[in-house]
Amino acid sequence: MTHSLQNVVLADPHSNAVAEILVGFGFNCHRLRLDCDTQSVEVLRSSPDFSTHAGNPTGSGLPVMFPFPGRILGTELRWKNKTYPLPAGDGQGNAIHGFVLDRPWRVISQEPQRIVAEFEAGRDAPELLRQWPSDFRISADYELAKNRFQMVYRVSNPGTEPLPCGLGIHPYFHLPLGPLGDAEDCTIRLPGTSTWELEQLITTGRKHRLPNAEEFVAGQPFRQLRVDCVLSDLQFSGPTGTAEIIDEPNHCRLTIEFDKSFRECIVYTPEDRGAICIEPITCVPDPFRLADQGVDTGLLVLEPQQSFEYRISLGLYHHPPAS
């Protein structure tokens, strides 16, 4: 597939923060530089040639997963007594991560610090209408403001049938957060206290409390963390859930904040150990099959012309050394 990649650069006049977004390849923010005290840090990891060749759409930067995050068992969606064909994408014969992460989006508005783009199936890829129960539209509003990267996603149903959907992001956070030490020196704080049981990376519908839930919440060394899991029963402080990466040698702390619409969080540690994926998602992977089993999945069903909004932000802060 050939893409007009259209790389857009956002810059924060109050800091050295810079974000680069490939509008023509899933609206992927493939580069994010934020300030931490006197140093600037590349927060996201991407393959070196991603901005020119746009390779694996889920292997770099900040892919957007919609209208479903994670895997769906097999290559069919069964919904309301109808069957919809889905492409296999995970190397194991399952559909994965939705339809929008490798397709061109359209810019709606653009300013030096902010860009808004959208993707609508019926307008931008009409072939998708046979693969999903309704037309769908997603817009993303990205803004760099005071050394924070703020994301607002709005999903809506422009069709005539109910729209079942879920949203997630799949960011690759670069470890470490600076030139000192290595990834294993970082501490990871995650807000989940239970995990969904997986069989061959497919959710079974059963959930278990983490035996070391306190360590997940309080923080554990990255060297101890080797996972590909779906966390649940997330802890929130008021309306906000927070995950953190703390890099003591570089005195930096990265926060991933999200609203209460994000009920679950996938955590994945790539084999090369140079990054971690912390992926807030709004519903359990494969919510359609699990809902038929009576599982509370978090699946959103929008009626025609309805819409819903989600918020996530990334911030980088000085982390003072332990006394």
The reported pTM is 0.96
Single-letter residue type at 147: N
- Average pLDDT on 97-112 reads 97
- pLDDT value for 5: 80
Tell me which fold the domain 7-318 belongs to: Beta-galactosidase; Chain A, domain 5 (2.70.98)
Instruction: Give the tens place of pLDDT for each residue, 222-246.
Output: 999 999 999 999 999 999 999 999 9
37-86 confidence digits (pLDDT tens): 889 999 999 998 887 777 788 899 999 999 999 999 999 999 999 999 99
Predicted pLDDT at 40 = 95
8 Å CB contact between 277 and 268: yes
pLDDT, tens digit, 9 for 90 and up, residues 300-314: 999 999 999 999 999
Listed residue (186, 295, 314, 304) closest to 257, CA to CA: 314
- For the chain, the average pLDDT equals 94
Give pLDDT tens digits for 183-223.
999 999 999 999 999 999 999 999 999 998 999 999 999 99
Grade residue 323 by pLDDT with cuts at 50, 70 and 90: low
Give tens-digit pLDDT for 266-296: 999 999 999 999 999 999 999 999 988 899 9
What does the DSSP assignment read for 14-51? TSS-EEEEETTTTTEEEEEEEEETTEEEE-B---TTHH
Asked whether the predicted pLDDT for residue 3 surpasses 70, the reply is no
State what percent of residues in the chain have pLDDT above 70: 98
DSSP 321: P
- Pairing verdict, β 228-232 and 300-302: unpaired
Q: Which residue do the tokens 């199936």 mark?
A: 121
User: Looking at residue 51, what is its pLDDT?
Assistant: 79
Task: Report the C-alpha gap between 239 and 320 in whole angstroms.
Answer: 27
Query: Are the beta carbons of 222 and 187 closer than 8 angstroms?
Result: yes
- DSSP assignment letter at 250: T
